[in-house]
Amino acid sequence: MQINGVGQYLTSQRFSVVKQVQLVYLLLALCVFLIPAKSAWTKPNPKALYTHSAAAGVFRVFYTTEGKHAVPADDKDGNHVPDRIDDILVQLKAADWFYQTQLKLTPPLMHSRYAQSDGIEVHIQHFDQGTGLAFDEPTKPNWYEGQSSSALTLKIKIGAQVDPRVSTTPAHELFHVYQYAYSPFKTKWFTEGMARWLEEPFSRQTGFAVPPSPSSCRELTGMAYNANGFFAKLAERQMLGVDQAAISNGYRQFVYSDGSPVIRNRSVFKFRPVKTWLERAAELGARESQRLGLVEGKWPESLQRSAQFDLTLCEALTKP
């Protein structure tokens, strides 16, 4: 039996009233507790953003054909996958083939940083600004074929408005994943400049625009996509006198849903310094990790994007 505030026992009548009042308070409290919970349950699950998936090799594409994030439902070949998704997948596969077989790059999942990851998820959704985004940290996987995998996955996002037949976004974002696998540096002239220059093999443009190269390493700080001229000029200098081998015939297997080729520029020899650049960045990253007492692949985001390494990184890339 409960005691009231002045130390007297409550009469049974008053006790029953108090019990009723307490019961009312308890019910109100439960309502307050349950209402937010119910609201949380009624919020759209992030996984509900995607209603379909398609896979090829290491790539798992999630998409929807309904609402704001929808891709066009056209399916000319009748394989029950929209042509847009087929085209995104084929550009990703072509870029992956090109980076590995023609540039001799180590695929991301073979690097120690991503050893625990089992694939690359590609999420197709509407972008208000920009057309794509690549992430450097492995994440928990999305729903896939009704199963929940415990292995981590890498992630790329591509705008639902992107048509790969006229856009190089899938290849561009995939190359960022390669860059992240090699080194911790995410200063924009290094990541965006190199990735923009490496769009050329997949570009429909007959004259791929390359701006003038900066005259010194110090001028690179603050640059981004427009640093592609630096890499074009650097490659030209480093490949001078090197055998200009042509691309292997394997490129012919990659075609879009309309029959057009994915890889259009077959002069691949000039892109081969990319392997050396990424390896030099990896060596520098390892040295800086040791100097700073940091675990490789676990740098704070602000440090990855810091300009403090710009000069040293540029010098590493440009040495003979």
In this prediction, residue 21 carries a pLDDT of 45
Q: How confident is residue 41, by pLDDT bands cut at 50, 70 and 90?
A: very low
> What is the C-alpha separation between 255 and 108, in angstroms, rounded?
24
| 188 token code pair | 């924009």
Q: What is the DSSP letter of 55?
A: E
> What is the C-alpha separation between 212 and 227, in angstroms, rounded?
9
> What is the C-alpha separation between 236 and 234, in angstroms, rounded?
5
Per-residue pLDDT tens over the stretch 155-192:
999 999 999 999 999 999 999 999 999 999 999 999 99
Contact 132, 176 (CB under 8 A): no
In this prediction, residue 146 carries a pLDDT of 47
Query: What sign for the dihedral angle of Cα 187, 190, 194, 196?
Result: positive
Per-residue pLDDT tens over the stretch 203-255:
987 666 677 888 889 999 999 999 999 999 999 999 887 777 788 899 999 99
Closest CA to 239 of 190, 275, 293, 285: 275
Examine the pLDDT at 30 and tell me if it is beyond 70: no
Examine the pLDDT at 279 and tell me if it is beyond 70: yes
Q: How confident is residue 269, by pLDDT bands cut at 50, 70 and 90?
A: confident
C-alpha torsion 127→128→131→135, nearest 10: -60
The separation between CA 154 and the C-alpha centre of its own chain, rounded to angstroms, equals 7
Per-residue pLDDT tens over the stretch 44-57:
345 557 889 999 99
In this prediction, residue 212 carries a pLDDT of 80
In this prediction, residue 37 carries a pLDDT of 38
In this prediction, residue 244 carries a pLDDT of 75
Strand order in the sheet with 59-63: 52-56, 59-63, 117-125, 152-159, 132-134
Percent of the chain with pLDDT over 90: 68
Closest CA to 109 of 99, 101, 119: 119
Instruction: Tell me the one-letter amino acid at 258.
Output: D
Examine the pLDDT at 69 and tell me if it is beyond 60: yes
Q: Please return the burial class of 7, using the count of CB atoms within 10 Å of its CB with bins 0-12, 13-18 and 19+.
A: exposed
Q: How confident is residue 319, by pLDDT bands cut at 50, 70 and 90?
A: very high
> What is the C-alpha separation between 254 and 87, in angstroms, rounded?
10
Q: How confident is residue 83, by pLDDT bands cut at 50, 70 and 90?
A: very high
Question: How does strand 132-134 pair with strand 117-125?
Answer: unpaired
The pTM assigned to this predicted structure is 0.83
Per-residue pLDDT tens over the stretch 114-158:
998 989 999 999 999 999 999 999 998 875 444 456 789 999 999
Q: Please return the burial class of 47, using the count of CB atoms within 10 Å of its CB with bins 0-12, 13-18 and 19+.
A: exposed
Average pLDDT for the chain: 84
H helical segments located in the chain:
12-42, 83-97, 169-182, 188-197, 228-238, 273-292, 301-304, 310-318
Is the pLDDT higher at 51 or at 110? 110
